[in-house]
Structure 1
Amino acid sequence: MSSAPLTSTPPPLLPAKSKSPPPHHPLLSHLPHCTNLRSLAQLHAAAVKAGLAAHPAFVTRLLTLCTPPGAHPAHLAYARQVFDRVPHPADAVWYNTLLRGYARSPSSSAAAAVRVFVRMLEEGVAPDTYTFVSLLKACAAARAGEEGRQAHALAVKVGAAGHEYVRPTLINMYAECGDARAARAMFDRMDGDCVVSYNAMIAAAVRSSRPGEALVLFREMQAKGLEPTSVSVISVLSACALLGALELGRWIHDYVRKLGLDSLVKVSTALIDMYAKCGSLEDAISVFQGMESRDKQAWSVMIVAYANHGYGREAISLFEEMKKHGIKPDDITFLGVLYACSHSGLIC
């Protein structure tokens, strides 16, 4: 298998053999061990020689491996080429896997997702709720409002728009695409109470700089007996930060502890950001020091907090500590360090 050449283009499919290879072919067991595109291409070449490349089980696993959360564009491109080489893909799971990959990619392309969806319709494969959820998420990630509206229209036509998974995704898509009115209209037409829909609306209100509305929605959700999730509290903490509402932020912090969400890295990071922006660096430090584990964002937010409060040396010291922990800085980290230097008269 090591002799197979590296290529970003999948090998051509050989004519199907008279007997379909068994779903438990030995090559299938090697797929999970392919950690990069080179090894995946090598295994794919071996699968072509074995007549396994067009087998549903192999294609499904190959596509899944190429479309993890945050998939690299090269992996997505490879998955798409694999898919395009299947003469008449009739498995909805394949389409949904590709669409989910586009939805979860940081370099999401709504146009690419739409092309997959169009082929699905051309091949006569019926879209399901998972199809629309992934397609709408891809449109939201790419801020493709027009494509999102077209997907919404088709979801209405096939009776999928009111589904419990599709409806919140529609709200989020409109919010991400800057159409707050459409997002609110979707929310107001809800038949029942749904935490995910409330989360989408609260996040939309924060993104459009309407923190007061976000807090009203949060209280409304609590009044209806809906238990907030980490997504809910992160958005509400952002609303507190925008308003500079320190006491309300402290109350939400206590509430977060009761819910047991304070152990989540993203929630703690939101707390640090809220306290820093509301003027309480002490509380921000306390949360940071109490974290059992920290990701890049947590370190960066704390560095920025020190910088904004005029503690340049502490920001730079924390930056050095971050590097010692093997955490690779990003743009936000460096901006925080530069800000600390400029406001403290230091030379970085």
Structure 2
Amino acid sequence: MLLPPKSFLFKRSLSFLSPLQTHLPDRPSLPRRIKPPSFSLLADQCTSMAHLKQIHAQMIVTARIHDNYAASRIMSFCALSHSGDLDYALKLFENTQDPNSFMWNTIIRAHADSPNSSNAIFLYMRMRRQGVVPGKHTFPFLLKACTNHHSISCGRQVHAHVVKHGLDLDLYVVNGLIRCYGFCGNIHDGRELFDESPERNLIIWTTMISGYAQNFCSNEALMLFDQMAMEGIEPNSATLASVLSACARLGGLDLGERIHAFIREKGIEVGVILGTALVDMYAKNGVISTAQVLFDEMPEKNIATWNAMICGLANHGYGGRALELFQDMERLKVLPNDITFVGVLSACCHTGLLEVGCVVFKSMQRDYGIDRKIEHYGCMVNLLGRGGRLTEAEELIKGMKWKADVVVLGALLAACKNHENIEIAERVVKEILELEPHNHGVYVVLSNMYAEVGRWEDVVRLRKVMRDVGLKKTPGWSLVDGDE
């Protein structure tokens, strides 16, 4: 008997199986290769230096470190992130072959914002020596470095480079130039650039107004603000903060109140900067109650906000409240700065708290590491003088690391007049005349002090000295007392 071939039996046996079972199991498929995310993407998603260093190590291992785009993203995180490391970024930059313009701009930008902003200028000089052409993004960062470095000479040189590269009409570059000139005190050149600009956006208007306000040109700031309004440009919070600053210095309460009403009408968000400007404007204009309400309503405050309120209270005779606010500040662990202590020491002067003032003055360096400035010494001389401790005040002036100015010496002279101390007054007048030989006011004060104690020969002698040097007492003018 012939048997069917094996293939037939195999097929016949399969015919009894269900259709699903006739399919042989598939071979297990290999897992698909998942493309790893790019290093640049990983760098953009980085959250810490530890994470970034791992990415950097992988780039070195896989020879991707020479990919300038990926390397630039790593460097950007190190240089510009709050959790970055500028030194690490600089090392990365130094070890990059032929860094591109983005990398140059990044490292210049990072150094412009650093405490050593002059390094950004040196980096730009290296960039030019290596033949890299700067662009419109380079100059705003470089001008910011000049601004932070308070270098008008560097600003002028950068301005020349801007013109050379044909970027003198770029709005952001022009804005950087105006800011640099304004911040460095050359507001006239800044205004020339502003007037020559064929196009002006809100940012440039705000920068120019802010420059006037920073340079105590309050009238000019308000006039420019009026011109801006006439041209139909609506201000933002930064513009309004600058105008309010001008109102504060000029005593323009009416305009300040109108701006406050405009802020409420337009529903403009009052952040820290604008809120501080409002508090400062009302406080300097003596509307302490409104300033206090605004201060209390602010959900977030910075040191400038506290200073505006403390100084406002102190300068308008509310010394006790100013000291209470300073205690609140300490309780909330808000670190004071040098301006805070000017306000606190002024408050001590107004309230006659001599011992408290002495403690505060000593605590500046001891507890807060704040270097005393001449304004603090002026407050202390005034405070000691009011308390009749004239010898201590004179010794304090002698102990200063810089030569006393007329304001400090004038405070001591006023105290000598009030306490009839001619001996110290004579020495103080001599020092003031060394600084201002034609200051006839001090002759008048000393002459009046001689007259009050009957020293008429000295009165005649002083009058003769005044005639010999060509000084003449203005009729009805004696002395504006320096007392707060």
Same fold (TM over 0.5): yes
Tell me which residue corresponds to 2:105: 96
Query: How far has the Cα of 1:174 moved from its partner?
Result: 1.4
Contact 1:218 1:236 (C-alpha < 8 Å) held by counterparts = yes
Q: Say yes or no: does 1:337 pair with 2:344.
A: yes
Q: Say yes or no: does 1:225 pair with 2:232.
A: yes
Tell me which residue corresponds to 2:93: 83
* Greater relative CO (CA pairs within 8 A, separation 6+): 1
* AA partner of residue 28 (structure 1): L
Deviation digits for residues 33-54 of structure 1, max 9, x if unmatched?
Answer: 226xx88668756754564544
Tell me which residue corresponds to 2:455: none
Tell me which residue corresponds to 1:4: none
From 199, 202, 207, the equivalent of 2:214 is: 207
Contact 2:320 2:347 (C-alpha < 8 Å) held by counterparts = yes
Q: Say yes or no: does 1:237 pair with 2:244.
A: yes
The verdict on how the C-alpha distance between 1:162 and 1:47 changes in structure 2, with shifts beyond 3 A counting, is: same
Q: Which moved more, 1:54-63 or 1:92-101?
A: 54-63
What RMSD over aligned residues (CA atoms) do the two structures have, in Å? 2.9
Aligned residues: 321
Following superposition, which runs of at least 4 residues in structure 1 exceed 4 angstroms of deviation? 38-54
Q: Say yes or no: does 1:65 pair with 2:77.
A: yes
Tell me which residue corresponds to 1:7: none
TM-score, scaled to structure 1 = 0.81
Query: How far has the Cα of 1:142 moved from its partner?
Result: 1.0
* AA partner of residue 252 (structure 2): A
Query: How far has the Cα of 1:285 moved from its partner?
Result: 0.6
Query: How far has the Cα of 1:55 moved from its partner?
Result: 3.9
Contact 2:248 2:284 (C-alpha < 8 Å) held by counterparts = yes
From 163, 167, 175, the equivalent of 1:168 is: 175
TM-score, scaled to structure 2 = 0.60
* AA partner of residue 109 (structure 1): S
Q: Say yes or no: does 1:193 pair with 2:200.
A: yes
Secondary structure (helix, strand or coil) at the match of 1:318 reads helix
Tell me which residue corresponds to 1:155: 162
Tell me which residue corresponds to 2:46: 32
Find the aligned partners of 1:26 and 1:191 in 2 and give their Cα distance. Answer: 40
Find the aligned partners of 1:335 and 1:41 in 2 and give their Cα distance. Answer: 46
The verdict on how the C-alpha distance between 1:321 and 1:62 changes in structure 2, with shifts beyond 3 A counting, is: farther
Tell me which residue corresponds to 2:279: 272
Q: Say yes or no: does 1:109 pair with 2:123.
A: no
Q: Which has the larger radius of gyration?
A: 2
* AA partner of residue 113 (structure 2): R
Deviation digits for residues 305-331 of structure 1, max 9, x if unmatched?
Answer: 222223233223223333444433333
Query: How far has the Cα of 1:32 moved from its partner?
Result: 2.6
Deviation digits for residues 197-217 of structure 1, max 9, x if unmatched?
Answer: 211221221222211111000
Query: How far has the Cα of 1:109 moved from its partner?
Result: 2.1
Q: Say yes or no: does 1:143 pair with 2:150.
A: yes
Contact 1:102 1:109 (C-alpha < 8 Å) held by counterparts = yes
Find the aligned partners of 2:128 and 2:255 in 1 and give their Cα distance. Answer: 50
Find the aligned partners of 1:305 and 1:46 in 2 and give their Cα distance. Answer: 57
Find the aligned partners of 2:293 and 2:44 in 1 and give their Cα distance. Answer: 47
Identity value in percent? 37
The verdict on how the C-alpha distance between 1:104 and 1:290 changes in structure 2, with shifts beyond 3 A counting, is: same
Q: Say yes or no: does 1:294 pair with 2:294.
A: no
Alignment of 1:114-125 (within 5 A): 114-125=121-132
